[in-house]
Amino acid sequence: MKSIITVLLVCFIAIPVLSQEPAAENKAISNGRIITTDSKMINGQYLVIGKDSVEFYEKGNPALFAIPLSQVDQIQEFKGNWGNTGMWIGCLVGCGIGVAVALGTEETTTTGYFQETTIQTWPIYLIGLGGTLVGYLIGRSAEDYDTVYSRSTSFLKNLDIYMDKEFNSVHLAYKIKF
């Protein structure tokens, strides 16, 4: 029973630790933002995460700044915006509304033995184009960021789990620097 509890405890600890990304130390980011512990957001360029600080250029300022990692809550890397996704969603929704409007303009004419049904197609094109433009503008305003460093998981970079094949055991080690 004791060995089962030990295995479950090790698995409980190992799964979150092994699922973490490698440490962000010495990582360079061309465009991103820094969220400090006092909830201040800094938009920076050319960020370099060091062992105990992050160096960056603030947008519009040629001076190099450095902040200790103890004062940083999160560092996020800019990945782009959702403009193209918004454009496609807006196009589909706009064309769908355009088809509904176009079906409302249905006209039936009878010539002899034949009936001809026509619809106006301009609402499909016009409302589809408008939906595309609106979707692109809305999607472009939504920026996408990936978290590169987070203070809440930074303690895990000193945690090490490894298998010892000689003794058929699992080792858990944590490094503390003074």
pLDDT at 156 over 80: no
What are the CA-CA distances from residue 90 to residues 29, 34, 125, 133, 160 (Å)? 32, 32, 13, 7, 48
Six token digits for residue 57: 């250029």
At residue 138, the pLDDT reads 92
Portion of the chain with pLDDT greater than 70, in percent? 74
Q: Is pLDDT at 21 greater than 60 in this prediction? A: no
Residues 55 and 48: their CA atoms lie apart, in Å, by: 5
Reduce the secondary structure of 15-66 to three states and give it as a string.
Answer: HHHHCCCCCCCCEEEEEEEEEECCCCEEEEEEEEECCCEEEEEECCCCCEEE
126: confidence class by pLDDT, cuts 50, 70, 90: very high
Between CA 54 and CA 68 the distance in angstroms is 6
Q: What's the mean per-residue pLDDT of the chain?
A: 81
pLDDT tens for 62-120 read: 889 899 988 888 888 898 888 999 999 999 999 999 999 999 888 888 888 888 888 88
Average pLDDT estimate for 43-49: 89
- Amino acid 28 reads A
pLDDT of amino acid 158:
59
Q: Which residues pair with 115 in a beta bridge?
A: 110
Residue 28 above 90 pLDDT?
no
**Taking the model in full, what pTM does it have?**
0.56
Tokens for 163, please give them.
């298998």
- Overall average pLDDT of the 31-53 stretch: 88
* Highest-pLDDT range among 24-28, 41-45, 173-177: 41-45
Show the tokens assigned to 66: 């450095």
Task: Kindly report, residue by residue over 162-172, the tens digit of the pLDDT.
Answer: 666 667 777 66
What are the tens digits of pLDDT across the range 71-81? 888 888 898 88
pLDDT in the model for residue 97: 95
Is the pLDDT assigned to residue 155 strictly greater than 70? no
DSSP letter string over the chain? -HHHHHHHHHHHHHHHHHTSPPP-TTEEEEEEEEEETTS-EEEEEEEEE-SSEEEEEETT--SEEEEEGGGEEEEEEEEEESHHHHHHHHHHHHHHHHHHHHHTT-EEEEETTEEEEE---HHHHHHHHHHHHHHHHHHHHSEEEEEEEEGGGGGGGGEEEEEETTTTEEEEEE----
